[in-house]
Amino acid sequence: MEELMVKAEGISKSFGSLEVLHDISFSLTKGNVLSIIGPSGSGKSTLLRIITQLEKADGGTLEIKGCRLFENGVYAKAEEQKRIGRLTGLVFQSFNLFPHFSVLRNITEAQRAVLKRSKAEAEEKAYSLLKRMSLQDKAKSYPCELSGGQMQRVSIARALALDPEILFFDEPTSALDPELTRDILNVIRSLAEEKMTMVVVTHEMNFAKGISDHAIFMEGGYIVEEGDPVSLFEHPQNKRTKEFVKSFDD
Amino acid sequence: MQQLLLQMLDGTVTSLKVFVLTLIFSLPLGFIVAKGRMSRNFLLRGIVNLYIQIMRGTPLILQLIFVYFAPYYVIGFSYDRFTAVIVAFVLNYSAYFAEIYRSGLQSIEKGQYEACKVLGFSKTHTFFFIILPQVVKRILPSLGNEVVTLVKDTALAQTIGVSELFRVAQNAASRMFSTMPIFVAGVFYFIMNYIVSKMFDFFEKKLSYYR
Ligand SMILES: Nc1ncnc2c1ncn2[C@@H]1O[C@H](COP(=O)(O)OP(=O)(O)OP(=O)(O)O)[C@@H](O)[C@H]1O
Ligand SMILES: [Mg+2]
């Protein structure tokens, strides 16, 4: 049986009088990758930020791995929210590394402060993640000494260090040069191969097509079209999806 | 001459006391003021803002006189001059430090808080281990400026009759019909501030390992 990792039903969100999400429903099963595409301002980040608890939804119901974060817009108890938060990890477009910590400490800090792992345990985990990101030799460096691609790999390692069940990426390559983008996409691809459950907001259509099991096209706060990525990207049914996908063909 | 130097050292000790006590109280108090200035409660924010405006908008010398004499004229309560100096300086400097803290706190990117939230850090951990160290680095130069100014401002304590370094020098100058004591006092202030700046340079260097 496939385990449901994310189950969203009718999520809505407004900022003041601006409705940015309307009736968003989708689900994601364990080991699958969902990609979300859509023009700027369509609400992609807001959706990710609601699921990772950086933003509060106004309505709808959200379950993470069977645990209810909110139901009809009413949130679970603070403790439960926290527990659910540990199931999710988020990688930001702008990395948001801690500039005053070494690369190593960026990766160990939450393991120690939040998961109460010992220093040795946290460092061992950090080194193995750095190795996987091909950054072994950067453990003692500071974020300002790294390239954008390296910073993003550290931030992925930082998120992975907490062993999240679902990892969310919000345009992880948008702040990077094309050459560096490839490195990050490769890292995400290898996570997909290991059956990490992920949601990726991206403008990299070919990449999304290659790694995801399901794709969603959003516009104006609505899910306009969804389906398996190959048909969504190659034979979109909706007019707006067609236009959007076409704008990336050059 | 030796006598004069001894007297001046005595005055210097008083100046240093004003300096140290002001810092001890206003550095932490400034933080509370900054918090009030950034409060969501508009009444609290308004009151704190007014307080800061008054402290920055009127001369410290006037505040000194007010703090010392007002309680006496209003409720007949008189108190020690030295205490009045400390109260006035702390009130004044807390306001300036608050503005420095506020600019520092507000300069930290929202993303830092968001990363902390997503990683599950508690509010205290976020503040003390992630935000505060970065704030300190950013405000160190302006804090340094303010502390140097404080060394010089201690000379104002004489306004309400506390014999700090400058007062001692002036008295000696009129006794001796010479400006030499005043010049010596200048050298004293210069040395104190030289040490203060060196200390700030040291801390700035220590924190320059990252950008
Ligand atoms: N904190 C906020 N306050 C007010 N409006 C906001 C806020 N955050 C987002 N919005 C608005 O919500 C809408 C959706 O924003 P969101 O960032 O989710 O879009 P997006 O699809 O991620 O766009 P992009 O591709 O540019 O990142 C936009 O109109 C945006 O201006
Ligand atoms: Mg976005």
Note the pLDDT of residue B211. Answer: 84
If you search the block for the tokens 């954008």, which residue do you land on? A148
> Which residues have a Cβ under 8 Å from the Cβ of B173 and sit 6 or more positions away?
B179, B180, B181, B182
Note the pLDDT of residue A126. Answer: 98
Read off the pTM.
Answer: 0.92
The Cα A134–Cα A132 span in angstroms is 5
The per-residue pLDDT for range A179-219, each reduced to its tens digit, is 889 999 999 999 999 999 999 999 988 899 999 999 999 99
Task: For residues B21-39, give the mean pLDDT.
Answer: 97
Q: Is the pLDDT of residue A59 over 90?
A: yes
pLDDT band at B125 (very low <50, low <70, confident <90, very high): very high
Note the pLDDT of residue A193. Answer: 95
Looking at chain A, the whole-number percentage of residues with pLDDT higher than 90 is 87
User: Does A206 reside within a domain?
Assistant: yes
Closest CA of chain B from A156, distance in Å: 12
> Which residues have a Cβ under 8 Å from the Cβ of B38 and sit 6 or more positions away?
B45, B102, B105, B106
CB burial of residue A89 (10 Å; 0-12, 13-18, 19+):
buried
State whether B121 and A82 contact (CB < 8 Å). Answer: no
Side by side, the strands of the sheet bearing A59-64 are A18-29, A4-15, A59-64, A67-71, A74-75
Note the pLDDT of residue A25. Answer: 97
Domain B2-206 has CATH 1.10.10.10: no
According to DSSP, the residues that pair with A137 across neighbouring strands are none
Q: Is the pLDDT of residue A115 over 70?
A: yes
How far is ligand 1, taken at its centre, from the CA of residue A210, in Å?
27
Q: Where are the beta strands (DSSP E) in A85-194?
A: 88-91, 166-170
Q: Which two tokens stand for residue A190?
A: 């290898």
Of the candidates B111, B120, B134, the beta carbon closest to that of A96 is on B111
Residue A54: CB within 6 Å of ligand 1?
A: no
In total, how many domains does chain A have? 1
According to DSSP, the residues that pair with A89 across neighbouring strands are A167
Q: Which two tokens stand for residue A92?
A: 């930001």
Note the pLDDT of residue A1. Answer: 65
User: Does A75 reside within a domain?
Assistant: yes
- For residue B37, give the nearest of B20, B19, B52, B17 by alpha carbon: B52
| CATH code of the domain in which A226 resides | 3.40.50.300
Please give the single-letter amino acid code of residue B148: V
- For residue A161, give the nearest of A96, A81, A89, A95 by alpha carbon: A89
Note the pLDDT of residue B4. Answer: 85
Q: Is the pLDDT of residue A222 over 80?
A: yes
Which uninterrupted H or E stretch holds A209? helix A205-211
User: Does A183 reside within a domain?
Assistant: no
The Cα B197–Cα B8 span in angstroms is 22
Could you tell me what percentage of chain A is helix, strand and coil, using 3-state DSSP and rounding each to the nearest 5? 40, 25, 35
Task: For residues B138-153, give the mean pLDDT.
Answer: 96
Other beta carbons within 10 angstroms of residue B42's beta carbon come to 9
The per-residue pLDDT for range B96-116, each reduced to its tens digit, is 999 999 999 999 999 999 999
**ipTM value:** 0.95
Per the model's pLDDT, the better-predicted residue between B206 and B78 turns out to be B206
pLDDT band at A242 (very low <50, low <70, confident <90, very high): confident
User: Does A144 reside within a domain?
Assistant: no
Per the model's pLDDT, the better-predicted residue between B5 and A82 turns out to be A82
> Which residues have a Cβ under 8 Å from the Cβ of B125 and sit 6 or more positions away?
A113, B116
User: Does A27 reside within a domain?
Assistant: yes
According to DSSP, the residues that pair with A200 across neighbouring strands are A35, A169
Of the candidates A82, A96, A144, the beta carbon closest to that of B210 is on A144
User: Which residues of chain A are at the B interface, by a Cβ-Cβ cutoff of 8 Å?
Assistant: 52-54, 82, 85-86, 88-90, 92, 94, 96-100, 109-110, 113-114, 142-144, 158-159, 162
User: Does A33 reside within a domain?
Assistant: yes
Note the pLDDT of residue A250. Answer: 58
Looking at chain A, the whole-number percentage of residues with pLDDT higher than 70 is 99
Residue A38: CB within 6 Å of ligand 1?
A: yes
Q: Is the pLDDT of residue B89 over 80?
A: yes
Note the pLDDT of residue A89. Answer: 97
Average per-residue pLDDT for chain B: 95
- For residue B144, give the nearest of B110, B195, B95, B208 by alpha carbon: B195
Can you give the residue range of the structural domain that contains A55? 1-87+167-175+196-250
The per-residue pLDDT for range A32-53, each reduced to its tens digit, is 999 999 999 999 999 999 999 9
Torsions phi, psi for A193 (to 5 deg)? -65, -30
Domain ranges of chain B: 2-206
Whether residue B110 lies within 8 A of chain A, CB to CB, comes out as no
Size of interface A-B (CB pairs under 8 A): 57
Q: Is the pLDDT of residue B3 over 90?
A: no
Q: What is the DSSP letter of B142?
A: H
pLDDT band at A247 (very low <50, low <70, confident <90, very high): confident
Largest CA-CA distance found in chain A, in angstroms, rounded: 55
Note the pLDDT of residue A125. Answer: 98
Note the pLDDT of residue A2. Answer: 82
